[in-house]
Structure 1
Amino acid sequence: MNETTQTQNTLRSEARIARGGLHRLRQDLFVGAFAFRPMPPLEDAKVSRWVPWLPERLRYWARWLPHFAVGFFSVCVFLATLADSSWGGSLRGVLTTGFGTVVAAGPLLTLFRPVGAYWLSLCAFVVSVLAYAGFSSPFSSIFGELAFPAHLAVMVLVVLRTRPRMAVEMWLVTFATAAVVTAALGKDPGDLPPVAFFCGVVLVSAAAVRAWREERRQVVETQTVTAEERSRRTLLEERALIARELHDVVAHHMSVIAIQAEAAPYRVENTPPELATSFSTIRENAVAALAELRRILGVVRSADPDAFAEHDPEAPQPTLASLDALLDSVRSAGLTVEAVVTGAPRPLPQGVELSAYRIVQEGLSNALRHSPGADARVEISYVLGGLGVRIVNGAPSRLAKPSPGAGHGVLGMRERVQMLGGEMTADRTEDGGFEVAAFIPVSHTPGESTVGGRA
């Protein structure tokens, strides 16, 4: 009983597999067989990679190189069909021209209707078999020599244009049809098995190429998505870092406002109740803002609780006044750096000072990592309407070691500048070095002068 049940289950499984295979065969070769599926031209990136020496105007036409190749092959098939026999009469000429047109149309049709091209080529192949078997010798030479090679080429082109499993499906349909026709005509199969084996090898090779191309395309797409996701994550991390730093800046000012609002009524005798109420409201709003800032900062830090494990969370945020200490630090690390300050230094908003300091810090860190042995120069310009920051280093004098960083330091600097409404450029210099230049707008303070200093 158990053996019978197991046999029935096996038969059902095999029947399901067969039905699934027939369903896929129907979907691939019969449903929408003559649907219009034009082959797109090559991508510009591929053309530039394959033929970088071509002029720009010719690269446009190089995108259509596969179409030209298939068209040239079709023309060669047509001419070979005509040259296969001499023109021995009007009927022979009509048959030769007509059959040559049908055979040559198969490869050309794969550019627009690949599955339909297969059926057209298969019909031409069947007609050639029937003609070769039933007609006299002069007609057999017309049909018997080029139809099958052209049909094999069509199958290869269809596999390269569609999906790998089409190779098996077209092979089965083609040689099942050939076997049926051979048996119906009562002919000896003869070379049919070795030809079927040879065609199977060719089609499997084409399917492998198609599968490799598809896998490569998916890998490229995955790498592109991964790079975009990495950039997005780095951007979010940098914004979170900026938010943590700005929290200290804003919290300091809000604390001062709260303290002054609380102490103001005691500095004035006989303070009117309305004024005392206003100061009390200011203090309450400042305290509420501080609580909201701490709550938001807690959410930001909870995603990365170890972000500041190596730093003192109570330490004040650096400003441009701390620039000398930063320069001494990088000099001790082996970087020769010169700092130039132009304009009259003046107090700037703490967020601007912090961002300018971080930009200089990141620029010098990049110089240490990517340009070992090069000199660097830092320029701080106090100008009307803002602050200019420029970090430039020369070409490296020795090979740089692989850096473990994520490589998104420039992205963080640009994010800081854009947050303050400024502009920034970062690019290589003509001598092989690197330059970062940023301008951060600041409201004009009277009494500015243009005195320069050097550190």
Structure 2
Amino acid sequence: MNETTQSQDALRSEARIAHGALHRLRQDLFVDAFAFRPLPPLEDAKISRWVPWLPERLRRWARWLPHLTVGFFSVLVFLAGLADSGSGSLQGLLATGFAALVAVAPLLTLFRPVGAYWLSLFATAVRAFADMAFSPYVEVFGHGAFPTLLAVMVLVVLRTRPRLAVEMWLVTFGVAGALTVLTGTDPGDIPVVAVFCGAVLIAAAAVRAWREERRQVVETQSATQEERTRRTLLEERALIARELHDVVAHHMSVIAIQAEAAPYRVKDTPPELATSFATIRENAVAALAELRRILGVVRSADPDAFAESDPEAPQPTLGSLDSLLDSVRGAGLVVEAVVTGSPRPLPQGVELSAYRIVQEGLSNALRHSPGAEARVEISYVLGGLGVRIVNGAPSRLAKPSPGAGHGVLGMRERVQMLGGEMTAEATEDGGFEVAAFIPVANTAGQTKTGGNRS
């Protein structure tokens, strides 16, 4: 009983496999066989990679190179068919029409690939049936239409999907076997031709599968790069949110303390004024609580992401630049700092962002340009603050550096947050330069004197 059940299960499994194969064959070769599927022109990136020496004017035409190649092949097929036909007779006219029918099939692969296969198979079968009807010694594929059919099948596989190679091979040689039976002729070289065509179609399917796999790998890499960039951007924004919290919390704390102490500084404070100060203090304390709540939401995904040795320490400013320079000098980087313009107090967010930009620029110089010299320029101008970090070419090979490699992205995000502009690019001598300008509202008493820090 168990053997009978296992046998029935095996038969059902084989039936399901056969049914699935027939269903796929029907979907691939019969459903919407003549659907319009135009071949798009080549991408400009591929043309630049394949023929970088080609002039710009010719690159527009190079995009249509596959179409021109297939069209040229169709013309050759038509001319070869005309050479075999006579002239001035009904048989010659029929041969000319048949040559045109055979030549149209390769051209049709550019627009309706599966339909082109059926057209080419029809032309090949008609020619084979006509030849075999007149002579029992003519083989099924003993005429010039079959090479065109094989070329069309290769083009269809390259344009659609690899499994069509097996499906077209089965249909083609199924038709060949049916013609042999109907006409009662000798099969001849059908087995040899079948093996040869199978090898050619398998090679075409392998090329198509390789191209598809490569395309998916490129798409996956692009998606991964976009996701990594987005994640890095979110992490940098979270870091900026934490730092902005410290900046705003400082000022709000000062407001709350001053509002609480103000009534005690004035003798006989009017009740209305005391009430106003109390309201100011309550609003400041509420704003602080809201800031802490928002910061907790930002940091909830990774509570330790921004942990520091001293979380209560004030955020650095340009006044802390000397300690930063001493730190990188101790790490082996020769750096010079130049300050132009008249140093003046700037908004704390601007000072913090400028410090972080200098810090990241010098860190990149340490990692990617070992042995190079660096220069930091801080420019106090009327419209804002200019920051420039430039380093020379490395004097020795840089070691692989861990991390996402998006430090420039973080610097750019800081500058854009403050409404500024930034450029980051390689220099002609092999080094790297980061230049940023952060706009700041003009204040009185600005001068144009400068100084140096080394």
Q: Distance in 1 between matches of 2:381 and 2:87?
A: 94
Q: Residue in 2 aligned with 1:345? A: 343
Contact 2:128–2:143 (CA under 8 A) maintained in structure 1:
no
Letter in 1 for 2:49: R
SS in 2 for 1:451: coil
Letter in 2 for 1:69: T
Contact 2:318–2:354 (CA under 8 A) maintained in structure 1:
yes
Q: Residue in 1 aligned with 2:257? A: 259
The 5 A counterparts of 1:58-97 are 58-84=58-84, 87=86, 89-97=88-96
For residues 46-82 of structure 1, give each alpha carbon's deviation from its aligned partner in whole angstroms, at most 9, with x where no partner exists. Answer: 1111111101111111111111111111111111222
Q: Which of these residues, 396, 407, 410, is aligned with residue 409 of structure 1?
A: 407
Letter in 2 for 1:11: L
Letter in 1 for 2:98: F
Q: Distance in 2 between matches of 1:22 and 1:184?
A: 24
Give the Å deviation of 1:304: 2.1
Q: Residue in 2 aligned with 1:436? A: 434
Give the Å deviation of 1:399: 2.0
Contact 1:77–1:146 (CA under 8 A) maintained in structure 2:
no
Q: Distance in 2 between matches of 1:84 and 1:415?
A: 71
Q: Distance in 2 between matches of 1:347 and 1:40?
A: 59
Q: Distance in 1 between matches of 2:183 and 2:92?
A: 27
Unaligned runs of 5+ in 2: none
Q: Distance in 2 between matches of 1:337 and 1:246?
A: 29
SS in 2 for 1:237: helix
SS in 1 for 2:338: strand
Give the Å deviation of 1:384: 0.9
The 5 A counterparts of 1:56-455 are 56-84=56-84, 87=86, 89-135=88-134, 144-455=142-453
Give the Å deviation of 1:4: 2.3
Q: Distance in 1 between matches of 2:392 and 2:4?
A: 83
Percent identical pairs in the alignment equals 82
Q: Distance in 2 between matches of 1:109 and 1:281?
A: 80
Q: Residue in 2 aligned with 1:47? A: 47
Give the Å deviation of 1:162: 0.7
Q: What is the TM-score when the length of structure 1 is the normalising length?
A: 0.96
Contact 1:128–1:144 (CA under 8 A) maintained in structure 2:
no
Letter in 2 for 1:322: S
Q: Distance in 1 between matches of 2:8 and 2:388?
A: 80
Give the Å deviation of 1:385: 2.3
Give the Å deviation of 1:452: 0.8
Contact 2:338–2:451 (CA under 8 A) maintained in structure 1:
yes
Letter in 1 for 2:159: R
SS in 2 for 1:389: strand
Give the Å deviation of 1:311: 3.0
Q: Distance in 1 between matches of 2:395 and 2:57?
A: 40
Deviates more, 1:178-187 or 1:300-309: 300-309
Q: Distance in 2 between matches of 1:172 and 1:136?
A: 26
SS in 2 for 1:341: strand
> How many residues are matched?
453
Q: Distance in 1 between matches of 2:292 and 2:307?
A: 18
Q: Residue in 2 aligned with 1:17? A: 17
Give the Å deviation of 1:88: 6.2
For residues 244-285 of structure 1, give each alpha carbon's deviation from its aligned partner in whole angstroms, at most 9, with x where no partner exists. Answer: 111111111111110000000111111111111111111111
Q: Distance in 2 between matches of 1:232 and 1:404?
A: 18
Contact 2:362–2:389 (CA under 8 A) maintained in structure 1:
yes
SS in 1 for 2:21: helix
Give the Å deviation of 1:104: 1.0
Q: Residue in 1 aligned with 2:28? A: 28
For residues 67-117 of structure 1, give each alpha carbon's deviation from its aligned partner in whole angstroms, at most 9, with x where no partner exists. Answer: 1111111111111222236x3651232122111111111111101111111
Name the CA shift for 1:88/1:422 in 2 (closer, same or farther; >3 Å).
Answer: closer
Contact 2:239–2:306 (CA under 8 A) maintained in structure 1:
no
RMSD: 1.8
Q: What is the TM-score when the length of structure 2 is the normalising length?
A: 0.96
Contact 1:391–1:436 (CA under 8 A) maintained in structure 2:
yes
Q: Residue in 1 aligned with 2:3? A: 3
Deviates more, 1:128-137 or 1:145-154: 128-137
Q: Distance in 2 between matches of 1:110 and 1:200?
A: 20
Give the Å deviation of 1:310: 4.9
Deviates more, 1:354-363 or 1:183-192: 183-192
For residues 172-200 of structure 1, give each alpha carbon's deviation from its aligned partner in whole angstroms, at most 9, with x where no partner exists. Answer: 11111110110111112121112111111
SS in 2 for 1:8: helix
